Structure 1
Amino acid sequence: MDSNNAEDNLSGDGDITSVMGFSGFGKKARTFDLDAIFEQTRRTAIERSRHVLDERQKADEEGQSSTTVPTQKDKKIAPAASRKQEDDSSSSDSEPIGPPLPPKEDDVDDDDLVGPPLPPGYRGSSALSDDDDEDDEAQEDNEDDDNPVKKIPDTHEITLLHGTKTVSALALDPSGARLVSGGYDFDVRFWDFAGMDQSLQAFRSLQPCECHQIRSLQYSITGDRILVVSGNAQAKVLDRDGFNVMECIKGDQYIVDMVNTKGHTAMLNDGCWHPKMKEEFMTCSNDGTVRTWDVTSEKKHKSVFKPRSFQGKKVIPTCCTYSRDGKLIAAGCQDGTIQIWDRNLSVHTKFHCRQAHIPGSDISCLSFSYDGLILASRGGDDTLKIWDIRNFKKPLNMANGLTNYFPMTDCCFSPDDQLLVTGTSVKKDEGHGKLVFFERATFQRVYEIDVTNASAVRCLWHPKLNQIMVGTGNGLAKVYYDPIKSHRGAKLCVVKSKRKQKHAEALTQEYVITPHALPMFREARQRSTRKQLEKDRLDPKKSHKPEPPVSGPGRGGRVAAHGGTLSSFIVKNIALDKTDDSNAREAILRHAKEASENPYWVAPAYKKTQPNPVFAEDSEEDEDAEKEPEWKKRKI
């Protein structure tokens, strides 16, 4: 009874395991005799090769080899059979190694086939050569990918004319649709790549800071605002179309402690937006402070950072930037030091490198790499250095001989973080400004671009567009791109032809055909446009002939011609009369002869009643009195 129950339980468990899908658990794994399998495979291969050779011999004897075309099946088998025969002849004692040859369809079933059949179009050694060529091409492509110089987009360029003076600021929005340029001529110009044609004209130009040089421009991370840093003490924020959003407040210049002032009190040097927070930006000034601001509160700064020298004295920061994550604030100073603070701790520096550049040389730019570990600094001592943030005592590499005459000369990293770019300065008519490319790992000078016969001041390498923008010392903004490697940007405007100006034809009018009009209202049909133009030219209304000058006293608010009014007559005849009237008697007697001969004003009225004039005659006493000296004459 117990044995029956046990058997029922076992059968029930078996059914359950089979239903659940793990009935095979616990069983012993199958074992295979590999030696026996290889031996069987060897024998099958030998039999197949012998069978193929026998058929070939029979075909040769019957003379069919020269007249018949081998089938696809024979083409597949023959090379393998010949290789097998060579192996058997060379080493008869050794066992064949490798997969068996495919058998004939008549002799072997589909279940006995080992391995996949040869692909259609197989050409033996030629297929191998094609694969080798493809491998070589892929290897060359990989080498091009590994070479960072091949990724520089400089095959084509366009030139944007900003003005005649130095382009000291450049900015691209995050999407790469608009470029903003500012210069020493106080102008800020807006360029829209999608809206420009081959004429390459800016769609807007303005002077946001009046007569102050533009030092820096930058778009916010959302691209809807532009930070404008100029030579005055107040930074401005514009919207995307150039309208004013806010203006930083100016501090009290009579307060000694700059922390207690609400804003900068001296000229600004640089500024930038926070990389993560769209409302915050930073500026540095000649008052010795670096300040952070909030767009929503323009009445006061958020925080103040004060660079100090080794003796604890005030130092002027010449450039400033955020780290890629926005947690660090770095400033380059006039004494050649680089000072980095934690954004939330404004008292003591987190990293401080003394004599990063020669003391007294202004550091013109600081730039963090995209991975956030490397800091590049461009000095006024004609050097370019890179630093590791984790070990900030000594530079990793340094390049010399990079002339720098401007306090805002840029340096930036390539989008793949393998190259570092900066510009060089030249004096007028003494050479060409260049863009110099350094490899980040080895810091070798791998490439150069001759920009123009002036200094290369600003440089940008946009990661989305993969295009390089350069601001020069002669008022040009150049854009370098590659039609294959670059995207949008300059590629959009170079393909658009110039728009033709529409000339307003004021002299012509449309001819309206009215077939059922009465004869008195019917217009004559135009035979020639030229004749109609000549007629319209003679018509004063259609040709907009200017009105002739007014004759007479003037009417309708228009002034009469010269001499037509009393005032103009007086000016012309009396006021402008240059006769000498110093002797009044002579001036009056000048008209005496004409008045006596032709009396017109007074004499005709008294002609009948006027008595004859009686004049005193000259006597001898009078003559003697005239001869007496002045002091003897009687005083009356």
Structure 2
Amino acid sequence: TVRTWDVNNEKKHKSVFKPRSVQGKRVIPTTCTYSRDGKLIAAGCQDGSIQIWDRNMSVHTKFHCRQAHASGTDTSCLTFSYDGTVLASRGGDDTLKIWDIRQFKKPLNSADGLPSFFPMTDCCFSPDDRILVTGTSVKKGGGSGKLFFFYRETFQKLYEIEVTDASVVRCLWHPKLNQIMVGTGNGLAKVYYDPIKSQRGAKLCVVKTKRKERQAETLTQDYIITPHALPMFREPRQRSTRKQLEKDRLDPMKSHKPEPPVAGAGRGGRVGTHGVTLSSYIVKNIALDKTDDSNPREAILRHAKEAEENPYWVAPAYAKTQPKTVFAEVEPEDDETDKPEWKKRKI
């Protein structure tokens, strides 16, 4: 069957088209396609027939040709022209035909001798509808797969291209890029374009040149060969620049290797670090005993005798006006309960 589906509803098809033979039996369709306006659906079947339905009427065919290709072969491709009046078919009987769907009894033109070993060999129209393109199949070691170009009106062969030493299966002439994409039986994909008429596509990557790898610039010393010089004045011969650079890399003086941090106690005029992490710093400070158990009064009275014998700050200032020290009288603390509210201390 040939079925149409709504992409938003994957569980149920939209409509079913059942190809039938002359006897009314079911036949297997091998390829199908939409018309350019989407109103017609065409299918090529194994009995060699091409059947076309109206999209809205799935019971009876609108156009059909019972002997379009040889019976028992797989019609590999059907494609409509851009004007919607001509249908091209690529048959498994090594032929390429074009049909006028308004007069669907016999083909307008036909070309034979085009081998097709794959059930998906393509054919396509050029963007201006003037040229028809298809590929040919070859056996292994039997030559090169080719791409054939035919005029639509006369079906005269316009040109042929040897693509590769394998079958040409897929082909597409893109209408906007104006480039031909080709897929072959050995997994090769090629794009043919015109530098002037083609737009974007492969032209965007063809103009890009491969970047050159930057070679490392190394400064080498001139080597003076003195075979008769004394051994003490003879320079060692450089065997390889790369090996010399690797040897210099291992030398900490030549490679200017920074000194590693000192672990443990300091040495060589460098202060050692006991801990570089936060946890080690916290453990170090917790272990220190910073408590002060000394009596502050005793610490001050230690200097009382010296201050009395050798006064320096307060006593010399009052030596003439007040030689004898006078202290303030102790006043009893007033009871705040007898004070008025506005004199009481506010807490």
Match of 1:336 in 2: 48
**Residue 4 (structure 2) aligned to one of 286, 292, 299:** 292
**Letter paired with 1:390:** R
Match of 1:350 in 2: 62
Q: Deviations over 1:411-431 (max 9, x none)?
A: 000111011111111111111
Match of 1:441 in 2: 153
Residue 384 of structure 1 and its aligned partner are, at CA, apart by: 0.6
Residue 470 of structure 1 and its aligned partner are, at CA, apart by: 0.9
Q: Does 1:432 align with 2:144?
A: yes
Match of 2:166 in 1: 454
In angstroms, what is the RMSD of aligned CA positions?
2.4
More contact order relative to length (CA 8 Å, sep ≥ 6): 1
Match of 2:288 in 1: none
User: Superposition pairs for residues 454-603 of structure 1, below 5 Å?
Assistant: 454-499=166-211, 534=247, 536=249
Match of 1:416 in 2: 128
With normalisation by structure 2, the TM-score equals 0.62
Query: Equivalent residue of 1:363, what SS?
Result: coil
**Letter paired with 2:35:** S
Match of 1:6 in 2: none
Query: Equivalent residue of 2:11, what SS?
Result: coil
Residue 367 of structure 1 and its aligned partner are, at CA, apart by: 0.5
**Residue 318 (structure 1) aligned to one of 13, 20, 30:** 30
Separation in structure 2 between the aligned mates of residue 537 and residue 326 of structure 1, nearest angstrom: 74
Q: Deviations over 1:432-474 (max 9, x none)?
A: 1111111111111121111111111111111111111111112
**Letter paired with 2:107:** P
Separation in structure 1 between the aligned mates of residue 120 and residue 213 of structure 2, nearest angstrom: 40
Please list every run of 5 or more consecutive structure 2 residues that lacks an aligned counterpart in the other structure. 216-241, 258-347
Q: Deviations over 1:245-266 (max 9, x none)?
A: xxxxxxxxxxxxxxxxxxxxxx
Match of 2:112 in 1: 400
Structure 1 pair 453/531, CA: closer, same or farther in 2 (3 Å)? closer
Residue 537 of structure 1 and its aligned partner are, at CA, apart by: 5.1
Number of residues of Structure 1 aligned to a counterpart in Structure 2: 229
**Letter paired with 1:312:** G
Query: Equivalent residue of 2:137, what SS?
Result: coil
Separation in structure 1 between the aligned mates of residue 166 and residue 251 of structure 2, nearest angstrom: 55
Query: Equivalent residue of 1:300, what SS?
Result: strand
Query: Equivalent residue of 2:10, what SS?
Result: coil
Residue 498 of structure 1 and its aligned partner are, at CA, apart by: 2.5
User: Superposition pairs for residues 111-150 of structure 1, below 5 Å?
Assistant: none
Query: Equivalent residue of 1:493, what SS?
Result: helix
**Letter paired with 1:489:** G
Structure 1 pair 384/538, CA: closer, same or farther in 2 (3 Å)? farther
Structure 1 pair 496/296, CA: closer, same or farther in 2 (3 Å)? same
Q: Does 1:303 align with 2:29?
A: no
Query: Equivalent residue of 2:71, what SS?
Result: coil
**Letter paired with 2:97:** K
Residue 295 of structure 1 and its aligned partner are, at CA, apart by: 1.4
Residue 308 of structure 1 and its aligned partner are, at CA, apart by: 1.1
Residue 500 of structure 1 and its aligned partner are, at CA, apart by: 5.9
Instruction: Quote the sequence identity (%).
Output: 78
Structure 1 pair 498/324, CA: closer, same or farther in 2 (3 Å)? same
Query: Equivalent residue of 1:447, what SS?
Result: strand
Runs of 4+ displaced beyond 4 Å: 499-503, 529-533, 535-539
Match of 1:267 in 2: none
Separation in structure 1 between the aligned mates of residue 214 and residue 12 of structure 2, nearest angstrom: 51
With normalisation by structure 1, the TM-score equals 0.34
Residue 489 of structure 1 and its aligned partner are, at CA, apart by: 1.2
Please list every run of 5 or more consecutive structure 1 residues that lacks an aligned counterpart in the other structure. 1-288, 504-528, 543-636
Residue 301 of structure 1 and its aligned partner are, at CA, apart by: 1.2
